[in-house]
Amino acid sequence: MFLKVFKYDFKAIFFKFIPVLAVLPVLAILVRIVNLLDATNVFAGMVIVLFNGLFALSCCLLTIYTIVICIMRYVKSLFRDQGYLTHTLPVSKHHLLLSQLLADFLMELISIALIFICLFIAYFTPEIFSLIAQVLSEMFEIVISSEDLGSFAGTLILLVFAIFFQAIQSIFIIYTGVALGHSFPKNKGILSVVFCIAINYGINIINFILMIMVSILDFAVINVEQVFSYVNITLIITIVESFALSVVAYFLDIYLMKNKLCLE
């Protein structure tokens, strides 16, 4: 039953994403074409600037659009009229929340992948590929010469986990803010925004304190190995913090949906 709920949630979000899937690649193709124009011509230069500006703005708006449709879907499915039907489904609150989380996370991955694909369509050239290959080669040579490839691999793995848990944490900030806001009978939307801002502000304070604690350790960054050590400690703290906050937010959301739910 969980797979059916997830399939329904993902399709509901994805269908709202289809217009973007159609427009952004077309805009990327247009950018590729206009960039072939003679930039020394005043009119052509204006067209080039216009299309490149629109493309950059569209890429930025895509991330915002993805977050907005995920929030709207989450609120509509669990906290508005549709919530009366959703909460009667023969699945647990855990499955309802995990289904929303997985659908939103996959949608964010798709939006990021779409941006990279469109950037490739709009700007990729053999010269850029050669430049990227050269930079990566030089970075790899530095790591190899430091005789600390294991530390580099460990740092890379920690970075992937840190990005993953940070993404999950950012989703739960919104989920928890909305759940807290909708535990009140009135002004649910305003309270949801207030709680989201307050939670985010509180997490930023925690991050600031943790970074001060790390800096107190007073690492003397002398060589590559010590750089990796400092970065690894920072990433480990980030992972542990994001994981802990996500777990707390998850069970708080479950509790609110079970005991404090106030549907519109």
Per-residue model confidence as pLDDT tens digits over 144-202:
555 555 566 777 888 889 889 988 998 988 889 888 888 887 788 888 888 888 888 88
Residues 167 and 108: beta-carbon distance below 8 Å: yes
Contact 262, 78 (CB under 8 A): no
Structural contact between residues 253 and 196, judged by C-beta atoms closer than 8 angstroms: no
Residue 221 banded pLDDT, cuts 50, 70, 90: very low
> From the CA atom positions of the chain, what is the Rg in Å?
23
DSSP state of 90: S
* pLDDT tens figures, 111-152: 889 989 998 888 887 777 777 777 767 666 665 555 555 566
pTM for the whole structure: 0.80
Helices (H), ranges, the chain: 2-34, 42-79, 81-86, 93-123, 126-145, 149-181, 188-216, 224-259
Residue of higher predicted confidence among 70 and 82: 70
Amino acid code (one letter) for 105: F
DSSP state of 40: T
Structural tokens at position 200? 């985010």
With beta carbons less than 8 A apart as the criterion, state whether 140 and 213 touch: no
Q: What is the mean pLDDT of the segment spanning 240-263? A: 84
